[in-house]
Chain A
Amino acid sequence: MATEPSRARAPWHSVRRILESASLIVALVAVWQIATAANHALYFPTPAQIWSQMVISWFTASGFTQNILPSFARVTLGWVLAALAGVPLGMAIGLSPSFAGYVKPIVHFGRAVPAPVVLPVFMIFFGIGDAMKIAFIAVGVAWPIILNAIKGVESIDRVQLETATVYGIRGPRRFLRVVLPAALPDIMAGLRISLALSFVLMVISEMIAASGGIGYQILQSQAQFDILNMWAGIVVLAVGGVVFNAALTAVERRVLRWHRGLQGESA
């Protein structure tokens, strides 16, 4: 569609986008501040109050090392493990159609089981420490990764595969230079979904295992009626989620430059 590269426009475009987003966030926070200040609701403190609470108890050295860091570390580890195992596995399944018939229903079923249901199993087998949470996240999040990797490989355009065949592009070269790039959009989508899911599983594992972390702190604060601290935890969690997601999206944008161009729209 475009006859000139849109790359030349890219730097200004993204600067403008960031400015737009930033000013919008400022406006929203202002509205939030006004609404909650006017209401004096017990359960809904103002952003200003939340911020000061965050500084007091979350951004301290101990707050950081005891809650923020471990939680985000667990999320990252669990997700990375799932990705390292799931992407190759999913691609292998997708590449052998006869084998895929046996395995796909199992993977679909695995995805259908809500991870929280089997949390007790992980707690019995792994205890309530870091190992349990990381394993729980990794296993729970692997299914969408595998499914998307399978889909990515299966939906490769037949014409592209035929072209590669005609020109004698076989074996590892075929995999690295044709199959992998073609499947990458779906794979990246699966990774993004799994990242969001990792946060969910992290929170629930911490809430139920009750042994530290952001999720635990949030629930604990609510039980102790420390509303301010509860909200502070929620905001920390939300910001963390946004940051992680933005990082992954940035990586995806870079890796799938050509794909976006194909669709003619900035994602």
Chain B
Amino acid sequence: MGGPAAARTNRRRGRLSEPVKGLVGVLIVGMVWQFAAILGFMPPAYFPTATTVLGYALTLVVQPVFLSHVVETLASMLLGLLIAAALAVPLGVLLGRFRVAYRLANTLVEAMRPIPALALTPVAILVFGLTSATTVSLVVWTASWPILINSVYGMHSVDRVALETARSFGFGRWQLIYRVALPSAAPFIATGIRIAIGIGLAVTVATEMITGAGNGVGAWIVVASSGGSLLPVYAAAVLVGLLGYLLNYAFERLERRVFAWHHSFRGEGV
């Protein structure tokens, strides 16, 4: 891939750097979109130009009403994520550590995991009504699985040698978990959380769209597009996409910094 040495070589040879290339790619897509929209295949209400979408998105970003919806969505997602992590990480650590428990639980996990949170929306509505608790509960359901599975995977990936070394120094069972297994598994757990962020955001927005409970970006989209124009949808897609992209990017950077010592981040990989 890259790294500082490759970047220097690239610069020396007059090639574009990665971020610039990415920007160029996005610009090209934007220009194609603009051109296609101007050609007028579809009415502007359904296929606005890229510049229109961008302009509208920019006005939204500073609009307090829209922003409060965004905050609402983020709050639901984060709360759901926190609860999910609080449940799934300890469970995953235990299941990862004790093989017998894992084999028992695995069947259950594999049976329940495919149930999309959205299919359970009606159940959540019945239990919680049309409140944000519905949304949060569904985020908890969705986010728990990747976190759980990655936590178990992380525990299974702990280096035997490290464990045995620690054991030879007299560490007890729980100390081994806390001092050796957990730090080793932490990067994997973090990956699970990062995946859960992406999915959690999608589920939050989708649930808001279905319940239309009046709060959150999803509800905003439903209301805003009821006027027949798709412009709000496009703008919201850009903004939410950007939000998700940035969250993912920021979390990845954080992971890299906190877990720089882990072998999956050192060296050139394979």
Q: Is B a genuine binding partner of A?
A: yes
The reply to whether the CB of B87 lies closer than 8 angstroms to some CB of chain A is: no
Say whether A112 contacts B205, CB under 8 Å.
no
User: B96-110: which have CB < 8 Å to A?
Assistant: 103-104, 107-108, 110
Roughly how many angstroms separate A214 CA and B237 CA in the complex, as a whole number?
Answer: 27
Do the beta carbons of A242 and B114 come within 8 Å of each other? yes
Tell me the A80-110 residues at the B interface (CB within 8 Å).
98, 101-106, 108-110
What size tier do the contact residues of chain A reach?
35 or more
Of A3-11, A59-67, A199-207, A253-261, the one with at least 4 CB within 8 A of chain B: A199-207
State whether A219 touches B121 (Cβ < 8 A): yes
Say yes or no: A114 contacts B240, CB within 8 Å: yes
Which of A47-55, A171-179, A233-241 contacts its partner?
A: A233-241
- Contacts known (A28-B108, A105-B22); A116 close to B205, Cβ less than 8 A: yes
- Measured CB to CB, the closest approach of chain B to A160, in angstroms, equals 9
Query: Does A36 sit at the interface, judged by CB under 8 A?
Result: no
Residue of B whose beta carbon sits closest to that of A106: B25
Is B21 in contact with chain A by the CB < 8 A criterion?
yes
A103 contacts which of B25, B46, B127, B198 (Cβ < 8 Å)?
B25
Cβ-defined partner of B210 (8 Å) among A43, A124, A196, A204: A204
How many interface residues does B have (CB within 8 Å)? 62
Contact residues in A for B112 (Cβ distance below 8 Å) = 238
| B 1-27 to A, binary, CB cutoff 8 A, 1 in contact else 0 | 100000000000001101001111110
Q: Which of B219-268 contact A (CB under 8 A)?
A: 221, 225, 230, 233-234, 236-238, 240-245, 248
A23 closest partner in B (C-beta):
B107
A125 at the interface (CB under 8 A from B): yes
State whether B209 touches A208 (Cβ < 8 A).
yes
Chain B residues near A115 (CB, 8 Å)?
202
Main secondary structure on B side of the interface with A = helix
Chain B residues near A117 (CB-CB < 8 A)? 205, 209, 217-218, 221, 233, 236-237, 240-241
For B248, what are the chain A residues with a Cβ–Cβ distance below 8 Å? 108, 112
Which of B107, B127, B201, B269 is in CB contact (< 8 Å) with A20?
B107
Q: B172 at the A/B interface (Cβ < 8 Å)?
A: no
Taking CB atoms, residues of chain B closer than 8 Å to A227 are 126
A234 engages B205 (CB within 8 Å): no
Asked whether A121 and B233 contact (CB < 8 A) given A108-B245, A219-B121, A238-B114, the answer is yes
Knowing A114-B202, A199-B116, A204-B210, say if A158 contacts B123 (CB, 8 Å): no
Decide if B230 touches A120 in the complex (CB within 8 Å): yes
A207 touches B121 (CB 8 A): yes
**Contact between A215 and B233, CB atoms less than 8 A apart:** no
